[in-house]
Amino acid sequence: MIYRSTSGRVFTIFNYFFFIMFCITILVPFINAIAISFSSYQAVSSGHIGLWPKGFNWEAYKTVAYNKQFLRTIVNTVFLTVVNTVLVITISMAAGYALSHKRLPGKAFIFIFILIPMYFSGGLIPTYLLVNNIGLNNTYGALIFPAVVNVFYIIVFRNSIMQLPQELLESAEMDGASEPRILVHLIVPLVLPMVMAFVVFSAVAYWNEWFGVMVYIRDKSMWTLQYQLRDILVNAALVDEETQKNLVNREMLIHPDNLKMAALMLTILPIVAVYPFVQKYFIHGQLVGAVKG
């Protein structure tokens, strides 16, 4: 039986209280947003919606889900998230493995060379001028290539690979395994939890991408989901005139707040649905990165 001091019990109670309040501050606005998205036009106009919908109405979800522009932004976002995540993890793993190799000439110089941009970047204006000068402006390349090299990931992978038993790598070399084969079949399974943790980091970051779209993209058909959501939250401009007339004839008006909250829920739904399945890798990857030796 474990006996705790008075101060220990007070600290435990405070921790529970703090985290309960923290969860409430997150859940209450989220539940309120769901309630608003499902409420009727009159109920939303009155502004008296709490944690439960009033006058159930899901026309906002149907309008957002069947909107061609919104569906296009989903395709764009999924494409960019998959491509960017695969590229950044592949490049980081390959670079980390190369930097950890004892026979790499000039290894110390290369490491310092890639480390400097991690702390001192060129800034937004030089980056924009570079992207524009090489012809990537208003293309998907402007959202892919500037972000495929993540120095932090490279350093973490390098350090993780250097901590692996070198006898394993040397035995694989003696058996005639090539460098790519050693990386894919030997190293990746050993650092898989960390790889999955970085996949989660990268996928969430690219799924939430909007700033790059604002800076580089002019074609509306190339918008990402988050930038489309920003446009909806600012302008509520997703319901065209013909759709609104049909809704008026059916006496099913959509309040702008209905539209905003429905778009918000549909935007975060994929991440909320996927995260529980990768959470175990995320936690394991943090533990592996924190333990030395």
In angstroms, the CA 41 to CA 109 distance is 64
User: Which pLDDT belongs to residue 29?
Assistant: 87
Q: Do the Cβ atoms of 153 and 96 come closer than 8 Å?
A: yes
Retrieve residue 101's tokens: 């190799």
The CATH code of the domain at 68-237 is 1.10.3720.10
User: Which pLDDT belongs to residue 87?
Assistant: 94
In angstroms, the CA 162 to CA 99 distance is 9
Q: Alpha helix locations (H) across the chain?
A: 6-37, 41-46, 59-65, 68-100, 107-119, 124-133, 141-144, 151-162, 166-174, 179-182, 188-190, 192-207, 211-216, 225-235, 241-249, 256-290
User: Which pLDDT belongs to residue 280?
Assistant: 67
In angstroms, the CA 162 to CA 164 distance is 6
Please list the pLDDT of the chain residue by residue as tens digits (293 residues). 455 677 778 888 888 999 999 999 988 888 888 888 888 877 787 777 888 888 777 878 888 888 888 889 999 999 999 999 999 999 999 988 888 887 788 888 888 888 888 888 778 888 889 898 998 899 999 999 888 888 889 988 988 888 888 787 778 778 787 888 888 888 888 888 888 888 888 888 889 888 989 999 988 889 998 898 888 877 755 555 545 554 544 445 677 778 888 888 888 888 878 777 766 666 555 545 444 44
Residue ranges per structural domain of the chain: 68-237
Retrieve residue 78's tokens: 């999924």
Single-letter amino acid, residue 226: Q
User: Which pLDDT belongs to residue 80?
Assistant: 93
User: Which pLDDT belongs to residue 236?
Assistant: 59
User: Which pLDDT belongs to residue 146?
Assistant: 87
User: Which pLDDT belongs to residue 81?
Assistant: 92
CA dihedral 156, 158, 163, 164 (to 10 degrees): 120
For the entire predicted model, the pTM comes to 0.78
Q: Do the Cβ atoms of 96 and 156 come closer than 8 Å?
A: yes
